[in-house]
Structure 1
Amino acid sequence: MNGDEQLLRGRVYGHDHDDPDPGPRPGQTYAHLIGGPLDGLLLDVTGWTPKEMDSGAALPTELGQFPGGRALYGPGPDEPRLAGPGVTCRFYHCGDSP
């Protein structure tokens, strides 16, 4: 695991690495990002509709195949989603985009 990967573990995507509390917040809903450059991060999906959840996310990152591009994540087929706060599902890396 390189230094960039160690910085990401247990953090919420979009929280600054200098944030004194970069972890999940009570009452929020998260997808756990699996694989790719953002592996191990949590994505806040609080308030996302089922359609938005099905579409996944294109997340800006400097860590992917295209620095300054986007890492693409989406739910796996038949991936269970729990209701309520906490980590309720997983989004899997499915590619990178410039």
Structure 2
Amino acid sequence: MDDELLRGRVYGSDHEDAGPRVGRVYRELVAGPLDGLLLDVTGWSGEQLAVGAALPTEIGAYGAGGRARYRPRPGDPLRWDWGGDTR
């Protein structure tokens, strides 16, 4: 894991334990409401990694109950780009 990722906060983690852990696999979320957070994708299948995720967030366009969509960036699958918010 590169040094840049080791400094990031992990999506869904408690504030006291928000840093990445050695031995886990992460994707960096780029743009949108979760910009700069790391998503723990440890154990995800190749198909899941190719599709991306719609992550629950209260800070997106739809508030509580909303989701932010992220997909792998073409040519740089370690970074997932925001694709908009959804309910």
TM-score, normalized by length of structure 2?
Answer: 0.85
Q: 1:36 Cα shift? A: 0.3
Please, which runs of 5 or more residues in structure 2 have no aligned partner? 1-6
Of the three residues 57, 61, 82, the one matched with 1:61 is: 57
Of the three residues 48, 66, 74, the one matched with 1:52 is: 48
1:76 maps to a residue whose letter is R
The higher relative CO (CA closer than 8 Å, separation ≥ 6) is in 1
TM-score, normalized by length of structure 1?
Answer: 0.76
How many residues are matched? 80
Q: CA RMSD in A?
A: 1.4
Deviations, residues 19-60 of structure 1 (Å, cap 9, x unaligned)? 2x3100110000000000000000000111111001101100
Q: 1:79 Cα shift? A: 2.6
Q: Which structure 2 residues correspond to residues 4-23 of structure 1 after superposition, within 5 A?
A: 10-17=8-15, 19=16, 21-23=17-19
Alignment match, 2:4: none
Please, which runs of 5 or more residues in structure 1 have no aligned partner? 1-8, 81-88
